[in-house]
A and B are shown apart, each in its own frame.
Chain A
């Protein structure tokens, strides 16, 4: 959301636009509307998951046991911490601690990269265990297990794509803050942070749905 550019060049003639508070509100509302869209975008996949889970409970349970709960939990912690870091960065920006802002944003981006690395490791394990849907799928005998893994890879894949965009965004803001670029001002950073938190929230729901279906017995 870097396109918030009303005709600022002519700010004197548009006092309404000149107010930072209003620009802030515009960008923030835009991001929240975008998040509403994203809720429905991921929502379609959650809906498909709901269908599968209610129709093939055994298949989903059997498949859910095969996901890597240790790495999944680790990744959840990584992502929650990254959200914490970016929230700190926003707070630091509001209080004019520019050095901290840059550091915290680099930390956020780095945690994002760690998340992707761990996720990649998981994918590698799943590949070697023949858990990719398709010929030779390990749980082919259990109805519904394949559907679970289809949704697993689609949701985590789309989530990883969103996270990658977030990492680039955070990296850009970190660099922008270090070089004191005009565009990386606090209100805009706050709006970018909203995006990062949203990606985190998606994962908060994916975690119990993909990793914690049935772990007992």
Chain B
């Protein structure tokens, strides 16, 4: 941890109790600039309003203090028409301003959540009190995430126990990691360096120790780093091995005797269900289908698939999902 601390200090260029901190920590992702711009605009607006109100209070307090000799005349005893106009004005004006802010922030938010099609997937499993991450090639990391500069990355996250939250302040992004389902977070890093990774949702005793760092590298360095890792099979390869060894292929391969839907290119496809509903298949759908096959049966197939609940762990399911995703790279990155 001491080297970690030293690294933080080195990268931030600050010593303990160094008063030369910057008010806004530097942003390091594509959306950080937008978020900062919106934040500063809001700060100016809100600060301006606060200053105007404070000034008025101070000026009125001084000018109309009890012993001041000042004109206090022309006070209407009831609500005059002018007063009502004033009330309406200061009701409608803030409302319009607020709606404007809403539009701006919503626009930003939608842009931030949109994931480019070529985003690099990284699977994240959170548990008390660590982050386990896995690149598509199968290279695993704990409490560290290496990403290439300038390339969109999409985190597919789930938790093994309680709710955690993946928070990288330099990216101005945060997403809760919820047990029992996948949540996603996408970003494009725009600065080289190392950045804090925090767990932002209280998760028990060592919540404040659930730290990590995000390392942004040049794409070439990243490729080298990826290749230099322990030589494990890629996540999708591992998924394919599971797909074979656990018997998925026995039914889902096109030529098999049991009639089961083909999984090739499944993710991103619209699936029509027996009960008339339809949905776009995503990681959660695959996950549900592995664990709770009878929940969403595809139209035209018998509900014969057994549940794999308790037989596959979270990381194995992630591998199978990665494999299925790899069969449909063309449609990757929807949602």
A35 within 8 A of B: no
Contacts of B292 in A (CB 8 A): 143
What residues of B have a CB within 8 angstroms of the CB of A143 in the complex? 292, 294-295
A68 contacts the other chain (Cβ, under 8 Å)? no
Q: Which residues of B contact A56 (CB under 8 A)?
A: 295
Instruction: Report the minimal beta-carbon distance from A18 to chain B, rounded to whole angstroms.
Output: 36
User: Given the complex, which residues of A lie within 8 Å of B295, measured CB to CB?
Assistant: 56, 58, 143
Instruction: Type the 1/0 row for B245-281, where 1 means its CB is closer than 8 Å to any CB of A.
Output: 0000000000000000000000000000001000000
Residue of B nearest to A144 (CB): B295
A88–chain B nearest beta-carbon distance, Å:
47
Chain A interface residue count, CB cutoff 8 Å, equals 5
* Complex interface: chain B residues within 8 A of A142 (CB): 294
Q: Residue on B with the closest CB to A56?
A: B295
Q: Which residues from chain A contact B275 at a C-beta distance below 8 Å?
A: 57
Of residues 56 to 112 in A, which have CB atoms within 8 Å of B's CB atoms? 56-58
Interface string of B288-326 (1 = CB under 8 A from A): 000010110000000000000000000000000000000
Please measure, in the bound complex, the distance between the C-alpha atom of A115 and the C-alpha atom of B152, giving whole angstroms. 63
B309 to chain A, nearest CB (A): 9
Complex Cα distance, B292 from A57, in Å, reads 14
Complex formed: what's the CA distance from A143 to B295 in Å? 8
**Residue with the greatest number of chain A CB neighbours at <10 A, chosen from B275, B292, B295:** B295
CB distance from A137 to the nearest CB of B (A): 15
CB distance from A204 to the nearest CB of B (A): 29
Q: Could you mark each residue 176-194 of chain B with 1 if its beta carbon is under 8 Å from any beta carbon of chain A, else 0?
A: 0000000000000000000
Task: Report the separation of the CA atoms of residues A57 and B294 in the bound assembly, to the nearest whole angstrom.
Answer: 11
Smallest distance from the beta carbon of B273 to chain A beta carbons, Å?
11
Compute how far the CA of A57 lies from the CA of B297 in the bound complex, rounded to whole angstroms.
13
Instruction: Give the chain A neighbours of B294 by CB distance below 8 A.
Output: 58, 142-143
| Whole-angstrom CA separation of A116 from B314 in the bound complex | 46
**Least distance between B199 CB and chain A CB atoms (Å):** 27
Q: State the Cβ distance, A63 to closest chain B Cβ, in Å.
A: 14
By beta carbon, the residue of chain B nearest A143 is B292
Bound state CA distance, A133 and B83, in angstroms? Answer: 63
Chain B residue at smallest Cβ distance from A59: B295
Docked Cα-Cα span, A60 to B295, in Å, equals 12
Residues of B within 8 A of A58 (CB): 294-295
Minimum CB–CB distance for B289 against chain A, Å = 12
Assembled-state Cα–Cα distance A58/B295 (Å): 8
Measured between C-beta atoms, what is the minimum distance from A64 to chain B in Å? 16
In this complex, what residue of A is CB-closest to B303? Answer: A58
- Residue picked from A56, A142, A143, most chain B C-beta under 10 Å: A143
Q: In the complex, what distance in Å separates the CA atom of A58 from the CA atom of B277?
A: 14
Closest chain B residue to A55 by CB distance?
B295
Q: Mark A136-159, 1 if CB is under 8 A from B, else 0.
A: 000000110000000000000000
Give the distance to chain B from A216, nearest Cβ to Cβ, in Å. 16
Proximity bits, A26-59, B CB within 8 Å = 1, else 0? 0000000000000000000000000000001110
CB distance from A51 to the nearest CB of B (A): 14
Those 4 A-B pairs whose CB atoms lie nearest each other, nearest first:
A143-B292, A143-B295, A58-B294, A143-B294
Residues of B within 8 A of A (CB): 275, 292, 294-295
8 A-B pairs within 8 Å (CB atoms) are namely: A56-B295, A57-B275, A58-B294, A58-B295, A142-B294, A143-B292, A143-B294, A143-B295
5 new A-B contacts at CB < 8 Å, known A57-B275, A142-B294, A143-B295: A56-B295, A58-B294, A58-B295, A143-B292, A143-B294
